[in-house]
A and B are shown apart, each in its own frame.
Chain A
Protein backbone atom coordinates (compact mmCIF):
# COMPACT_ATOMS: atom_id res chain seq x y z
CA UNK A 1 0.00 0.00 0.00
CA UNK A 2 1.42 3.41 -0.97
CA UNK A 3 1.23 6.54 1.21
CA UNK A 4 -1.52 8.03 -1.00
CA UNK A 5 -3.54 4.84 -0.92
CA UNK A 6 -3.22 4.73 2.86
CA UNK A 7 -4.24 8.40 3.31
CA UNK A 8 -7.24 7.94 1.00
CA UNK A 9 -8.59 5.51 3.59
CA UNK A 10 -8.32 7.95 6.51
CA UNK A 11 -11.87 9.21 6.16
CA UNK A 12 -13.29 5.71 6.03
CA UNK A 13 -11.21 4.77 9.05
CA UNK A 14 -12.49 7.81 10.98
CA UNK A 15 -16.02 6.70 10.20
CA UNK A 16 -15.30 3.04 10.90
CA UNK A 17 -16.30 2.25 7.35
CA UNK A 18 -13.32 0.20 6.21
CA UNK A 19 -13.67 -3.29 4.87
CA UNK A 20 -11.71 -5.97 6.67
CA UNK A 21 -9.09 -6.09 3.92
CA UNK A 22 -8.74 -2.27 3.85
CA UNK A 23 -8.37 -2.23 7.61
CA UNK A 24 -5.64 -4.88 7.59
CA UNK A 25 -3.70 -3.13 4.82
CA UNK A 26 -3.98 0.31 6.43
CA UNK A 27 -3.00 -0.92 9.89
CA UNK A 28 0.05 -2.63 8.43
CA UNK A 29 1.06 0.54 6.55
CA UNK A 30 0.59 2.82 9.56
CA UNK A 31 2.60 0.44 11.72
CA UNK A 32 5.48 0.75 9.32
CA UNK A 33 5.16 4.44 8.24
CA UNK A 34 5.72 7.16 10.85
CA UNK A 35 4.83 9.95 8.39
CA UNK A 36 1.45 8.48 7.57
CA UNK A 37 0.88 7.78 11.25
CA UNK A 38 1.48 11.47 11.99
CA UNK A 39 -0.85 12.43 9.14
CA UNK A 40 -3.50 10.12 10.51
CA UNK A 41 -3.24 11.62 13.99
CA UNK A 42 -3.74 15.12 12.56
CA UNK A 43 -6.64 13.90 10.44
CA UNK A 44 -8.29 12.18 13.37
CA UNK A 45 -7.96 15.27 15.58
CA UNK A 46 -9.51 17.43 12.84
CA UNK A 47 -12.48 15.11 12.60
CA UNK A 48 -12.66 15.10 16.39
CA UNK A 49 -12.79 18.91 16.44
CA UNK A 50 -15.57 18.94 13.89
CA UNK A 51 -17.61 16.45 15.85
CA UNK A 52 -17.05 18.37 19.03
CA UNK A 53 -18.67 21.49 17.67
CA UNK A 54 -21.69 22.26 19.79
CA UNK A 55 -24.85 21.83 17.76
CA UNK A 56 -26.29 25.11 16.60
CA UNK A 57 -29.56 26.16 18.16
CA UNK A 58 -32.27 28.12 16.50
CA UNK A 59 -32.73 31.60 17.97
CA UNK A 60 -35.32 32.23 20.64
CA UNK A 61 -38.76 32.83 19.17
CA UNK A 62 -38.04 30.93 16.00
CA UNK A 63 -40.99 28.60 16.50
CA UNK A 64 -43.43 31.45 17.06
CA UNK A 65 -42.15 33.38 14.09
CA UNK A 66 -42.40 30.31 11.88
CA UNK A 67 -45.93 29.55 13.04
CA UNK A 68 -46.89 33.14 12.40
CA UNK A 69 -45.34 32.97 8.94
CA UNK A 70 -47.34 29.83 8.20
CA UNK A 71 -50.47 31.72 9.21
CA UNK A 72 -49.57 34.54 6.85
CA UNK A 73 -49.73 32.27 3.88
CA UNK A 74 -51.95 33.92 1.24
CA UNK A 75 -55.53 32.75 1.54
CA UNK A 76 -55.78 31.36 -2.00
CA UNK A 77 -52.79 29.14 -1.27
CA UNK A 78 -54.29 28.09 2.09
CA UNK A 79 -57.65 27.39 0.49
CA UNK A 80 -56.06 25.42 -2.31
CA UNK A 81 -54.00 23.39 0.14
CA UNK A 82 -56.93 22.66 2.41
CA UNK A 83 -59.16 21.66 -0.47
CA UNK A 84 -56.82 19.66 -2.63
CA UNK A 85 -53.62 18.75 -0.78
CA UNK A 86 -52.77 15.94 -0.76
CA UNK A 87 -54.47 15.97 -4.14
CA UNK A 88 -53.92 12.24 -4.64
CA UNK A 89 -56.20 11.64 -1.67
CA UNK A 90 -58.55 14.62 -1.52
CA UNK A 91 -59.32 15.10 -5.20
CA UNK A 92 -60.68 11.58 -5.79
CA UNK A 93 -62.66 11.81 -2.56
CA UNK A 94 -64.13 15.16 -3.53
CA UNK A 95 -65.02 13.98 -7.02
CA UNK A 96 -66.63 10.86 -5.54
CA UNK A 97 -68.59 12.97 -3.05
CA UNK A 98 -69.80 15.31 -5.79
CA UNK A 99 -70.90 12.39 -7.94
CA UNK A 100 -72.65 10.82 -4.97
CA UNK A 101 -74.56 14.01 -4.19
CA UNK A 102 -75.47 14.45 -7.86
CA UNK A 103 -76.62 10.86 -8.02
CA UNK A 104 -78.81 11.29 -4.96
CA UNK A 105 -80.28 14.46 -6.39
CA UNK A 106 -81.17 12.74 -9.66
CA UNK A 107 -82.58 9.75 -7.77
CA UNK A 108 -84.74 11.93 -5.55
CA UNK A 109 -85.88 13.93 -8.56
CA UNK A 110 -86.80 10.81 -10.50
CA UNK A 111 -88.72 9.33 -7.59
CA UNK A 112 -90.59 12.53 -6.78
CA UNK A 113 -93.27 13.34 -9.37
CA UNK A 114 -94.05 16.49 -7.38
CA UNK A 115 -90.57 17.83 -8.06
CA UNK A 116 -90.83 17.00 -11.73
CA UNK A 117 -94.21 18.70 -12.00
CA UNK A 118 -92.97 21.73 -10.10
CA UNK A 119 -89.96 22.00 -12.39
CA UNK A 120 -92.21 21.72 -15.44
CA UNK A 121 -94.66 24.34 -14.17
CA UNK A 122 -91.90 26.79 -13.35
CA UNK A 123 -91.16 26.93 -17.02
CA UNK A 124 -94.83 27.40 -17.87
CA UNK A 125 -95.68 29.78 -15.02
CA UNK A 126 -94.52 33.15 -16.41
CA UNK A 127 -97.01 33.23 -19.31
CA UNK A 128 -99.83 32.54 -16.83
CA UNK A 129 -98.75 35.49 -14.75
CA UNK A 130 -98.56 37.64 -17.85
CA UNK A 131 -102.08 36.59 -18.76
CA UNK A 132 -103.18 37.58 -15.29
CA UNK A 133 -101.72 41.03 -15.70
CA UNK A 134 -103.44 41.49 -19.05
CA UNK A 135 -106.71 40.20 -17.66
CA UNK A 136 -106.61 42.71 -14.86
CA UNK A 137 -105.81 45.50 -17.26
CA UNK A 138 -108.92 44.85 -19.36
CA UNK A 139 -111.34 43.65 -16.71
CA UNK A 140 -113.42 45.54 -14.17
CA UNK A 141 -111.63 46.91 -11.17
CA UNK A 142 -113.08 44.49 -8.67
CA UNK A 143 -111.58 43.88 -5.28
CA UNK A 144 -110.38 40.43 -6.20
CA UNK A 145 -108.94 41.82 -9.40
CA UNK A 146 -106.99 44.35 -7.43
CA UNK A 147 -105.65 41.64 -5.17
CA UNK A 148 -104.61 39.54 -8.15
CA UNK A 149 -102.93 42.52 -9.75
CA UNK A 150 -101.12 43.28 -6.53
CA UNK A 151 -99.89 39.73 -6.46
CA UNK A 152 -98.88 39.82 -10.07
CA UNK A 153 -97.25 43.25 -9.91
CA UNK A 154 -95.64 42.98 -6.52
CA UNK A 155 -91.91 43.67 -6.66
CA UNK A 156 -90.12 40.38 -6.76
CA UNK A 157 -86.49 39.45 -6.61
CA UNK A 158 -84.98 38.05 -9.75
CA UNK A 159 -84.43 34.35 -10.42
CA UNK A 160 -86.26 31.37 -9.02
CA UNK A 161 -87.51 33.21 -5.97
CA UNK A 162 -89.42 35.59 -8.16
CA UNK A 163 -91.45 32.74 -9.57
CA UNK A 164 -91.92 30.92 -6.33
CA UNK A 165 -95.46 32.10 -5.40
CA UNK A 166 -97.00 31.07 -8.71
CA UNK A 167 -96.04 27.39 -8.71
CA UNK A 168 -97.39 27.11 -5.18
CA UNK A 169 -100.86 28.12 -6.31
CA UNK A 170 -100.80 25.88 -9.35
CA UNK A 171 -99.51 23.02 -7.23
CA UNK A 172 -102.64 23.14 -5.12
CA UNK A 173 -104.83 23.31 -8.19
CA UNK A 174 -103.09 20.33 -9.68
CA UNK A 175 -103.45 18.36 -6.48
CA UNK A 176 -107.17 19.07 -6.34
CA UNK A 177 -107.59 18.20 -9.99
CA UNK A 178 -105.91 14.85 -9.38
CA UNK A 179 -108.23 14.14 -6.49
CA UNK A 180 -111.23 14.82 -8.74
CA UNK A 181 -109.92 12.59 -11.53
CA UNK A 182 -110.54 8.88 -10.94
CA UNK A 183 -109.68 7.82 -14.46
CA UNK A 184 -106.18 7.58 -15.81
CA UNK A 185 -105.38 10.77 -17.59
CA UNK A 186 -102.90 11.12 -20.42
CA UNK A 187 -100.02 13.47 -19.78
CA UNK A 188 -100.83 16.97 -20.84
CA UNK A 189 -98.41 19.71 -21.73
CA UNK A 190 -100.99 22.44 -22.36
CA UNK A 191 -100.84 25.59 -20.30
CA UNK A 192 -103.11 25.32 -17.27
CA UNK A 193 -104.78 28.63 -18.01
CA UNK A 194 -106.68 27.22 -20.97
CA UNK A 195 -108.17 24.42 -18.91
CA UNK A 196 -109.27 26.51 -15.98
CA UNK A 197 -112.10 28.17 -17.85
CA UNK A 198 -114.73 25.45 -17.66
CA UNK A 199 -114.35 25.42 -13.93
CA UNK A 200 -115.41 29.00 -13.49
CA UNK A 201 -119.04 27.88 -13.24
CA UNK A 202 -118.33 25.17 -10.72
CA UNK A 203 -120.06 25.82 -7.43
CA UNK A 204 -117.00 24.88 -5.48
CA UNK A 205 -114.66 27.88 -5.32
CA UNK A 206 -112.30 26.59 -2.70
CA UNK A 207 -109.25 28.13 -4.25
CA UNK A 208 -110.25 31.73 -3.83
CA UNK A 209 -107.18 32.38 -1.77
CA UNK A 210 -104.65 31.65 -4.49
CA UNK A 211 -103.92 33.46 -7.69
CA UNK A 212 -105.82 31.07 -9.92
CA UNK A 213 -108.75 31.15 -7.53
CA UNK A 214 -108.82 34.92 -7.70
CA UNK A 215 -108.74 34.65 -11.43
CA UNK A 216 -111.72 32.30 -11.51
CA UNK A 217 -113.58 34.35 -8.97
CA UNK A 218 -113.22 37.37 -11.13
CA UNK A 219 -114.46 35.43 -14.14
CA UNK A 220 -117.49 34.33 -12.11
CA UNK A 221 -118.19 37.94 -11.25
CA UNK A 222 -117.94 38.84 -14.88
CA UNK A 223 -120.36 36.05 -15.76
CA UNK A 224 -122.76 37.32 -13.14
CA UNK A 225 -122.56 40.71 -14.78
CA UNK A 226 -123.97 39.24 -18.06
CA UNK A 227 -120.85 39.13 -20.13
CA UNK A 228 -121.56 39.49 -23.79
CA UNK A 229 -120.35 37.09 -26.42
CA UNK A 230 -118.26 39.85 -27.91
CA UNK A 231 -116.50 40.35 -24.59
CA UNK A 232 -115.77 36.64 -24.32
CA UNK A 233 -114.50 36.48 -27.86
CA UNK A 234 -112.33 39.55 -27.44
CA UNK A 235 -110.96 38.28 -24.20
CA UNK A 236 -110.34 34.87 -25.73
CA UNK A 237 -108.51 36.52 -28.59
CA UNK A 238 -106.19 38.14 -26.10
CA UNK A 239 -105.56 34.80 -24.52
CA UNK A 240 -106.77 35.53 -21.01
CA UNK A 241 -109.98 33.52 -21.40
CA UNK A 242 -110.16 29.93 -22.57
CA UNK A 243 -111.73 29.48 -25.99
CA UNK A 244 -113.65 26.39 -24.91
CA UNK A 245 -117.29 25.69 -25.51
CA UNK A 246 -119.24 24.53 -22.50
CA UNK A 247 -121.98 22.00 -23.04
CA UNK A 248 -124.22 19.88 -20.87
CA UNK A 249 -125.59 16.54 -22.04
CA UNK A 250 -128.34 14.89 -20.08
CA UNK A 251 -127.94 11.13 -20.06
CA UNK A 252 -129.03 8.29 -17.82
CA UNK A 253 -125.72 6.46 -18.16
CA UNK A 254 -122.87 8.97 -18.09
CA UNK A 255 -120.18 6.25 -18.19
CA UNK A 256 -121.44 4.61 -21.35
CA UNK A 257 -122.23 7.96 -22.91
CA UNK A 258 -118.73 9.14 -22.11
CA UNK A 259 -117.20 6.16 -23.90
CA UNK A 260 -119.39 6.73 -26.94
CA UNK A 261 -118.52 10.41 -27.02
CA UNK A 262 -114.82 9.73 -26.78
CA UNK A 263 -115.09 7.29 -29.70
CA UNK A 264 -117.08 9.87 -31.63
CA UNK A 265 -114.49 12.56 -31.02
CA UNK A 266 -111.70 10.26 -32.17
CA UNK A 267 -113.59 9.38 -35.34
CA UNK A 268 -114.04 13.07 -36.08
CA UNK A 269 -110.32 13.62 -35.84
CA UNK A 270 -110.39 15.14 -32.38
CA UNK A 271 -108.84 14.08 -29.12
CA UNK A 272 -109.71 13.73 -25.45
CA UNK A 273 -107.85 16.28 -23.39
CA UNK A 274 -109.00 15.04 -20.04
CA UNK A 275 -111.67 13.58 -17.82
CA UNK A 276 -112.82 15.04 -14.55
CA UNK A 277 -115.21 13.78 -11.96
CA UNK A 278 -117.31 16.33 -10.10
CA UNK A 279 -120.23 16.08 -7.76
CA UNK A 280 -122.53 17.06 -10.61
CA UNK A 281 -121.17 14.34 -12.87
CA UNK A 282 -118.20 13.65 -15.13
CA UNK A 283 -116.76 16.33 -17.38
CA UNK A 284 -114.93 15.55 -20.59
CA UNK A 285 -112.43 18.07 -21.95
CA UNK A 286 -112.35 17.59 -25.70
CA UNK A 287 -110.85 19.13 -28.81
CA UNK A 288 -112.09 18.64 -32.35
CA UNK A 289 -111.23 20.25 -35.68
CA UNK A 290 -113.33 23.34 -36.30
CA UNK A 291 -114.84 21.71 -39.39
CA UNK A 292 -116.08 18.78 -37.30
CA UNK A 293 -117.67 20.94 -34.60
CA UNK A 294 -121.18 21.10 -36.22
CA UNK A 295 -121.20 17.33 -36.75
CA UNK A 296 -120.13 16.71 -33.17
CA UNK A 297 -122.94 18.96 -31.92
CA UNK A 298 -125.40 17.14 -34.10
CA UNK A 299 -124.37 13.71 -32.92
CA UNK A 300 -124.22 14.80 -29.28
CA UNK A 301 -127.76 16.06 -29.67
CA UNK A 302 -128.73 12.60 -30.89
CA UNK A 303 -127.42 11.07 -27.65
CA UNK A 304 -129.67 13.12 -25.43
CA UNK A 305 -130.83 16.60 -24.48
CA UNK A 306 -127.87 18.90 -25.18
CA UNK A 307 -127.56 22.43 -23.93
CA UNK A 308 -124.83 24.81 -25.06
CA UNK A 309 -123.84 27.02 -22.18
CA UNK A 310 -120.98 28.76 -23.91
CA UNK A 311 -120.15 29.01 -27.58
CA UNK A 312 -116.56 28.36 -28.61
CA UNK A 313 -114.60 31.51 -29.39
CA UNK A 314 -111.23 32.47 -30.78
CA UNK A 315 -110.63 29.13 -32.44
CA UNK A 316 -107.55 28.61 -34.51
CA UNK A 317 -108.78 25.63 -36.43
CA UNK A 318 -109.61 23.64 -33.30
CA UNK A 319 -112.60 23.81 -31.03
CA UNK A 320 -112.10 22.96 -27.40
CA UNK A 321 -115.07 22.04 -25.32
CA UNK A 322 -115.95 20.92 -21.86
CA UNK A 323 -118.84 18.52 -21.87
CA UNK A 324 -120.63 17.84 -18.62
CA UNK A 325 -122.57 14.58 -18.50
CA UNK A 326 -125.44 14.39 -16.10
CA UNK A 327 -128.94 13.12 -15.54
Chain B
Protein backbone atom coordinates (compact mmCIF):
# COMPACT_ATOMS: atom_id res chain seq x y z
CA UNK B 1 0.00 0.00 0.00
CA UNK B 2 2.78 2.39 0.96
CA UNK B 3 4.67 1.47 -2.19
CA UNK B 4 1.58 2.12 -4.30
CA UNK B 5 1.13 5.52 -2.69
CA UNK B 6 4.75 6.35 -3.47
CA UNK B 7 4.21 5.25 -7.07
CA UNK B 8 1.17 7.51 -7.26
CA UNK B 9 3.13 10.47 -5.97
CA UNK B 10 5.84 9.81 -8.51
CA UNK B 11 3.28 9.55 -11.27
CA UNK B 12 1.63 12.82 -10.21
CA UNK B 13 5.00 14.55 -10.19
CA UNK B 14 5.74 13.28 -13.69
CA UNK B 15 2.33 14.37 -14.94
CA UNK B 16 2.84 17.84 -13.50
CA UNK B 17 6.28 18.06 -15.07
CA UNK B 18 4.75 17.28 -18.47
CA UNK B 19 6.51 13.94 -18.83
CA UNK B 20 5.33 12.60 -22.17
CA UNK B 21 5.06 9.01 -20.94
CA UNK B 22 3.33 9.80 -17.67
CA UNK B 23 -0.13 10.11 -19.15
CA UNK B 24 0.18 6.76 -20.87
CA UNK B 25 1.32 5.22 -17.60
CA UNK B 26 -1.67 6.75 -15.85
CA UNK B 27 -4.14 5.36 -18.37
CA UNK B 28 -2.53 1.91 -18.39
CA UNK B 29 -2.46 1.71 -14.61
CA UNK B 30 -6.05 2.85 -13.91
CA UNK B 31 -7.97 2.03 -17.09
CA UNK B 32 -9.69 -1.09 -15.75
CA UNK B 33 -10.71 0.45 -12.45
CA UNK B 34 -12.16 3.56 -14.05
CA UNK B 35 -13.85 1.60 -16.80
CA UNK B 36 -15.17 -0.86 -14.20
CA UNK B 37 -16.95 1.85 -12.25
CA UNK B 38 -18.39 3.32 -15.42
CA UNK B 39 -19.61 0.07 -16.91
CA UNK B 40 -21.23 -1.04 -13.60
CA UNK B 41 -22.94 2.30 -13.26
CA UNK B 42 -24.01 2.82 -16.85
CA UNK B 43 -24.48 -0.81 -17.95
CA UNK B 44 -23.27 0.16 -21.40
CA UNK B 45 -19.77 -0.61 -22.63
CA UNK B 46 -19.82 2.18 -25.19
CA UNK B 47 -20.93 4.81 -22.72
CA UNK B 48 -18.54 3.44 -20.13
CA UNK B 49 -15.61 3.83 -22.50
CA UNK B 50 -16.69 7.34 -23.35
CA UNK B 51 -16.91 8.28 -19.68
CA UNK B 52 -13.65 6.56 -18.78
CA UNK B 53 -11.87 8.40 -21.56
CA UNK B 54 -13.31 11.68 -20.33
CA UNK B 55 -12.03 10.90 -16.82
CA UNK B 56 -8.47 10.56 -18.07
CA UNK B 57 -8.70 13.63 -20.28
CA UNK B 58 -9.90 15.68 -17.34
CA UNK B 59 -7.01 14.47 -15.24
CA UNK B 60 -4.66 15.29 -18.09
CA UNK B 61 -6.03 18.80 -18.33
CA UNK B 62 -6.29 19.59 -14.64
CA UNK B 63 -3.47 17.72 -12.97
CA UNK B 64 -2.28 21.11 -11.73
CA UNK B 65 -5.42 21.40 -9.62
CA UNK B 66 -4.77 18.10 -7.84
CA UNK B 67 -3.69 19.14 -4.38
CA UNK B 68 -2.50 15.71 -3.33
CA UNK B 69 -4.59 15.64 -0.17
CA UNK B 70 -6.26 12.45 -1.35
CA UNK B 71 -4.73 9.61 -3.31
CA UNK B 72 -4.62 9.83 -7.08
CA UNK B 73 -6.85 6.75 -7.37
CA UNK B 74 -9.40 8.37 -5.06
CA UNK B 75 -9.41 11.45 -7.27
CA UNK B 76 -9.94 9.29 -10.36
CA UNK B 77 -12.82 7.46 -8.70
CA UNK B 78 -14.35 10.80 -7.69
CA UNK B 79 -14.25 12.11 -11.24
CA UNK B 80 -15.59 8.87 -12.65
CA UNK B 81 -18.41 8.70 -10.11
CA UNK B 82 -19.44 12.28 -10.72
CA UNK B 83 -19.42 11.88 -14.48
CA UNK B 84 -21.47 8.68 -14.26
CA UNK B 85 -24.03 10.20 -11.93
CA UNK B 86 -24.28 13.27 -14.15
CA UNK B 87 -24.79 11.06 -17.19
CA UNK B 88 -27.45 9.06 -15.42
CA UNK B 89 -29.20 12.25 -14.38
CA UNK B 90 -29.65 13.48 -17.94
CA UNK B 91 -33.14 13.24 -19.37
CA UNK B 92 -31.87 11.25 -22.33
CA UNK B 93 -30.29 8.66 -20.07
CA UNK B 94 -33.46 8.23 -18.02
CA UNK B 95 -35.32 6.81 -21.01
CA UNK B 96 -34.97 3.04 -21.49
CA UNK B 97 -31.98 2.44 -23.75
CA UNK B 98 -32.10 -0.01 -26.55
CA UNK B 99 -29.51 -2.73 -26.09
CA UNK B 100 -29.03 -2.24 -22.35
CA UNK B 101 -30.89 -5.46 -21.66
CA UNK B 102 -28.49 -7.39 -23.83
CA UNK B 103 -25.47 -5.75 -22.28
CA UNK B 104 -26.53 -6.61 -18.79
CA UNK B 105 -26.36 -10.24 -19.72
CA UNK B 106 -22.84 -9.93 -21.01
CA UNK B 107 -19.95 -10.99 -18.86
CA UNK B 108 -17.66 -8.42 -17.32
CA UNK B 109 -15.47 -7.96 -20.34
CA UNK B 110 -12.89 -10.70 -20.62
CA UNK B 111 -13.35 -14.17 -22.01
CA UNK B 112 -12.27 -15.89 -18.78
CA UNK B 113 -13.79 -13.43 -16.41
CA UNK B 114 -15.88 -15.85 -14.47
CA UNK B 115 -13.52 -17.57 -12.10
CA UNK B 116 -16.03 -17.59 -9.30
CA UNK B 117 -19.27 -16.86 -11.08
CA UNK B 118 -20.08 -18.99 -14.07
CA UNK B 119 -21.51 -17.27 -17.05
CA UNK B 120 -25.17 -17.77 -16.82
CA UNK B 121 -28.32 -16.85 -15.18
CA UNK B 122 -26.86 -15.97 -11.78
CA UNK B 123 -24.33 -13.57 -13.28
CA UNK B 124 -26.91 -11.91 -15.43
CA UNK B 125 -29.24 -11.63 -12.47
CA UNK B 126 -26.50 -10.14 -10.36
CA UNK B 127 -25.66 -7.48 -12.97
CA UNK B 128 -29.32 -6.77 -13.48
CA UNK B 129 -29.85 -6.41 -9.76
CA UNK B 130 -26.96 -3.98 -9.49
CA UNK B 131 -28.21 -2.01 -12.48
CA UNK B 132 -31.65 -1.85 -10.87
CA UNK B 133 -30.41 -0.19 -7.71
CA UNK B 134 -31.06 3.51 -7.22
CA UNK B 135 -28.06 5.39 -8.51
CA UNK B 136 -26.98 6.79 -5.15
CA UNK B 137 -26.92 3.27 -3.65
CA UNK B 138 -25.49 1.62 -6.74
CA UNK B 139 -22.39 3.77 -6.73
CA UNK B 140 -21.72 2.91 -3.08
CA UNK B 141 -22.00 -0.82 -3.76
CA UNK B 142 -19.83 -0.59 -6.82
CA UNK B 143 -17.11 1.32 -4.96
CA UNK B 144 -17.23 -0.88 -1.87
CA UNK B 145 -17.96 -4.43 -3.05
CA UNK B 146 -16.69 -4.36 -6.62
CA UNK B 147 -13.79 -1.92 -6.32
CA UNK B 148 -12.92 -2.58 -2.69
CA UNK B 149 -12.70 1.01 -1.42
CA UNK B 150 -12.81 1.67 2.32
CA UNK B 151 -15.78 3.51 3.82
CA UNK B 152 -13.63 6.56 4.40
CA UNK B 153 -12.46 6.66 0.78
CA UNK B 154 -16.03 6.30 -0.47
CA UNK B 155 -17.03 9.22 1.74
CA UNK B 156 -14.28 11.31 0.12
CA UNK B 157 -15.08 10.16 -3.41
CA UNK B 158 -18.78 10.89 -3.09
CA UNK B 159 -18.39 13.79 -0.68
CA UNK B 160 -20.72 12.13 1.84
CA UNK B 161 -20.79 11.66 5.58
CA UNK B 162 -19.48 8.30 6.76
CA UNK B 163 -22.85 7.42 8.26
CA UNK B 164 -24.55 8.10 4.95
CA UNK B 165 -22.12 5.78 3.20
CA UNK B 166 -22.85 3.00 5.74
CA UNK B 167 -26.61 3.34 5.54
CA UNK B 168 -26.70 3.50 1.74
CA UNK B 169 -24.46 0.48 1.50
CA UNK B 170 -26.57 -1.50 3.93
CA UNK B 171 -29.82 -0.69 2.12
CA UNK B 172 -28.26 -1.56 -1.23
CA UNK B 173 -27.08 -4.94 0.02
CA UNK B 174 -30.47 -5.73 1.52
CA UNK B 175 -32.11 -4.84 -1.78
CA UNK B 176 -29.71 -7.03 -3.71
CA UNK B 177 -30.27 -9.88 -1.31
CA UNK B 178 -33.97 -9.61 -1.90
CA UNK B 179 -33.54 -9.62 -5.70
CA UNK B 180 -31.13 -12.56 -5.64
CA UNK B 181 -33.08 -14.57 -3.09
CA UNK B 182 -33.97 -17.33 -5.50
CA UNK B 183 -30.31 -17.95 -6.33
CA UNK B 184 -29.25 -18.20 -2.73
CA UNK B 185 -29.26 -21.70 -1.23
Contacts and interface: CB of A to CB of B under 8 A. Distances in A.
Do they bind each other? Answer: yes
Interface of A: 7-8, 10-12, 14-15, 17, 42-43, 45-47, 49-59, 62-63, 65-67, 69-70, 73, 77, 81-82, 85-89
B23 A67 contact: yes
B31 A62 contact: yes
Given A14-B173, A47-B145, A62-B31, A52 B116 contact: yes
B173 A67 contact: no
Contact of B35 (A15, A58, A70, A89): A58
B177 A42 contact: yes
Interface stretch (B2-10, B58-66, B79-87, B89-97): B58-66
Nearest to B107: A54
Contact of B176 (A50, A52, A55, A58): A50
Nearest to B170: A11
Contacts of A73: 57, 60-61
A49 B180 contact: yes
B85 to A, nearest CB: 18
Contacts of B156: none
B146 A50 contact: yes
B64 A89 contact: yes
A59 B45 contact: yes
B155 to A, nearest CB: 13
Given A53-B117, A66-B27, A70-B56, 5 more contacts: A14-B173, A43-B173, A53-B145, A56-B36, A85-B62
A82 B57 contact: no
Interface residues of B, number: 57
Nearest to A65: B53
21 contacts: A7-B174, A12-B166, A42-B177, A47-B173, A50-B145, A50-B146, A53-B117, A54-B116, A55-B32, A55-B36, A57-B32, A63-B27, A63-B31, A65-B49, A66-B53, A67-B24, A69-B53, A69-B57, A70-B57, A89-B16, A89-B64
B64 A85 contact: yes
Interface of B: 16, 18, 23-24, 27-28, 31-36, 39-40, 45, 49, 52-53, 56-57, 60-65, 107-110, 113-117, 122-123, 126, 130, 141, 144-146, 148, 151, 166, 169-170, 173-174, 176-177, 180-181, 183-185
B108 A67 contact: no
Contact of A56 (B40, B151, B183): B40
Contacts of A46: 173, 176-177, 180, 184
